[in-house]
Structure 1
Amino acid sequence: MAGCGANVTLDPVTIPTPLIDPMPMSVAVRIPAEFEDYVHEDEVLGREKWRIDLGRSNAALFSQLFNFMFDEVTILGPDDDASTLAIDALIEPSIDAFEFSVPSQSRTESYAVWIRYRLKVYDSAGDMYANWPLSAYGKSEKFGLTGDEPLKRAAILAMRDAAALMIMNLDKSTAISALKDRPAIAVASAQPAADEPAPREKRSQLPKRREVALPPPGPAAGPAVLSMDPDSDATRERVPEGSSND
């Protein structure tokens, strides 16, 4: 007998205004089509079919986030050419993996979502400067929520967790601020193996301005940012063996 499952479409996700000073840089943010249109489909235990649409919500969140983090931000589509723009850096987000867990798998009353994002940073010449993977987690209890609301809430918390990570660690992990007003020396912050050179990837077309309507491991610590998790759930968990895989 088939289970229920659900079609989950996230509404635009917003974050509180972080208590940070924007970096004095001009950046372009390219939103790839596969990022803006990201949909995850999975069948849990061969019975429950789930379809989770994250795309437009992701695009809106990242657009809002980077406008908080930098003085000047230009949002670009997948085919937009930024080679004539006077920018210090180009950022291109993507999703490496999406996983989730529902009560029928975990035998708990919890829904959980893991998202592994990747941020590629290019210098003003179009050479790859940094390649940063980051993992985010969100968890929601079933109590008090109905239908697809618990899973939707867990996904929103994971996206906010990613936003908090980027606010706190983007410059530490990519050294993007060093690109201000000067050509970049290619640096790979993804930490490749010692005998493996950092990848150099050229963007022949650096990502016409396209505006995106503004509308998540744990809540932000210290004074850098407001709490991203309204439930104050700072728990980080390993991906359970029974969780779904992209």
Structure 2
Amino acid sequence: MQHLTYAVKVLGVLMLTLLLSSCGVNEVVVEGRFPSPLLDKLPVTLGVYYKPEFREHEFFDEATTRGESDWVVKTGAAQVQMYNTLLEGMFERVVLLNELPRKDRVAEVGKQAVDAILVPEVNELQYSIPTHTKINVFEIWMRYRYELYSANGEQLADWTMTAYGKTPTAFLRSAEAAVNLAAVVALRDAGANFAVNFEQVPEVKLWLENTADRRATP
């Protein structure tokens, strides 16, 4: 009887192993190139704080049938790369911060305080993959939220922008490559939208004007 029980356990483990291996997980770590914007740099020192969930951002698509695979798409490192390149092309100086400043302590780098601190985050994400649409196209839509703080932690502005990326798998070697390219296109779109619209946000425009006036005052 003990031998039979042991055999049943072994058989169960083998069946579970086969089941898991048949499903599998498609993992994509997004990689790409992000050009610097061709703009006149704003004469300010911008601090940037990336929350852990932003640095490590990923999304997961769970398979709905046994014949499909799960998807894990990791965008965090590519997001940080894109925003670092973007902001360094937009501002006179960019400083990466490890934490947001408290209201009783000004964020400083050396002896120079930053003029403001930007905190980006992914506010919403939608996507479709071939198993959803039944065609060889991957799409990703993202809504970013941006918060701008003064050097002592008071909020100056809060706004959102969207980004969209789409690519057909027919022209690429694999679905993984299509997923990666769609994500890269979405990130580039996010960067372009930010660069074009940043100074148009009313609260941001007011902050830039006040900063310029303060510096012009003897």
TM-score interval, smaller chain: 0.7 to 0.9
Query: C-alpha deviations, 1:151-207, integer Å up to 9, x for none?
Result: 110000000000000010011123242352678xxxxxxxxxxxxxxxxxxxxxxxx
Largest Rg, 1 or 2: 2
Query: Is the 8 Å Cα contact of residues 126 and 140 (structure 2) preserved in structure 1?
Result: yes
How many equivalent pairs are there?
182
Give the letter aligned to residue 110 of structure 1: V
Aligned position for 2:209 = 178
Shift of the 117–24 alpha-carbon distance from structure 1 to 2, 3 Å rule, reads same
SS at match of 1:169: helix
Aligned position for 2:189 = 161
Query: C-alpha deviations, 1:67-114, integer Å up to 9, x for none?
Result: 011001101224788824211111001111222111221122211011
- Higher helix proportion (structure 1 or 2): 2
Q: Deviation at 1:4?
A: 6.1
Aligned position for 1:138 = 165
Give the letter aligned to residue 26 of structure 2: A
Alignment partner of 1:110 is 2:137: yes
Unaligned runs of 5+ in 2: 1-18
Q: TM-score, normalised by structure 1?
A: 0.67
Shift of the 127–181 alpha-carbon distance from structure 1 to 2, 3 Å rule, reads farther
Aligned position for 1:94 = 121
Query: C-alpha deviations, 1:31-78, integer Å up to 9, x for none?
Result: 111110112112144543111111111111111110011001101224
Aligned partner (choices 38, 55, 69) of residue 90 of structure 2: 69
Q: For the residues of structure 1 that align with 2:198 and 2:138, how far apart are their CA atoms?
A: 28
Q: For the residues of structure 1 that align with 2:210 and 2:176, how far apart are their CA atoms?
A: 43
Q: Which has the higher contact order (CA 8 A, sep 6+)?
A: 1
Query: Is the 8 Å Cα contact of residues 5 and 49 (structure 1) preserved in structure 2?
Result: yes
Q: For the residues of structure 2 that align with 1:33 and 1:19, how far apart are their CA atoms?
A: 29
Give the letter aligned to residue 7 of structure 1: E
Alignment partner of 1:9 is 2:29: yes
Aligned partner (choices 9, 33, 51) of residue 32 of structure 1: 51
Give the letter aligned to residue 57 of structure 2: Y
Alignment partner of 1:49 is 2:49: no
SS at match of 1:149: helix
Q: Alignment identity in percent?
A: 25
Aligned position for 2:178 = 150
SS at match of 2:78: helix
- Higher strand proportion (structure 1 or 2): 2
Q: Deviation at 1:25?
A: 0.7
Q: TM-score, normalised by structure 2?
A: 0.75
Shift of the 99–5 alpha-carbon distance from structure 1 to 2, 3 Å rule, reads farther
- RMSD, matched Cα: 2.3
Shift of the 143–83 alpha-carbon distance from structure 1 to 2, 3 Å rule, reads same
